[in-house]
Amino acid sequence: MRVLFIVLGFLFMGIGIIGVIIPILPTAPFLLLSGFFFAKGSKKFHDWFISTKLYKKHLESFVKSKSMTLKSKLSILIPVTIMLIIAFIFVNNLHARIALIILIIVKYLYFFICIKTIKYDERVENNVGLEE
């Protein structure tokens, strides 16, 4: 089972890396999954993952203080919203369209109510999410 967790960790990390390059694919959710699976599979891989620049840039501030910069929030929200709007346009089912609208609304409410928005300067003061 540990091997499966490690493989899933690398799989989701790979998708997260692709998300850094391709703006339509969100990065943070896949990197969060990667961290989860590395933690379940191997302390060694988990420690390595949380020491990478990828983790520090995209996840560290969220994991430590459940906060993100506005830029980070928008880089997650906008591509996903575009994908959901495209799905909304192509779906002809009323129930599916209502579900997509609810999903978009809940997503924005969660990001702006439950996750604190910080300025880049606060990250600097707290040494959170910065490269060493």
Domain that holds residue 52: 1-58
Last residue of a domain, one of 58, 75, 98: 58
pTM: 0.59
131 SS3 class: coil
Same domain, 53 and 76: no
State which of 19, 39, 58 marks the end of a domain: 58
Give tens-digit pLDDT for 75-119. Answer: 778 888 888 899 999 999 999 999 999 999 999 998 889 888 888
Contact 27, 62 (CB under 8 A): no
**Beta-sheet strands, E only, within the chain:** 67-69, 116-118
Q: Which residue has the higher pLDDT, 45 or 128?
A: 45
One domain, residues 131 and 71? yes
The total number of structural domains that make up the chain: 2
Residues 50 and 70 in one domain: no
What would the pLDDT profile of 7-59 be if each residue is shown by its tens digit?
999 999 999 888 777 766 777 788 888 999 999 999 998 999 889 988 887 78
Phi and psi torsions of 67, nearest 5°: -140, 155
Q: Say if residue 132's pLDDT is above 50.
A: no
SS3 of 75-94: the string is HHHHHHHHHHHHHHHHCCCH
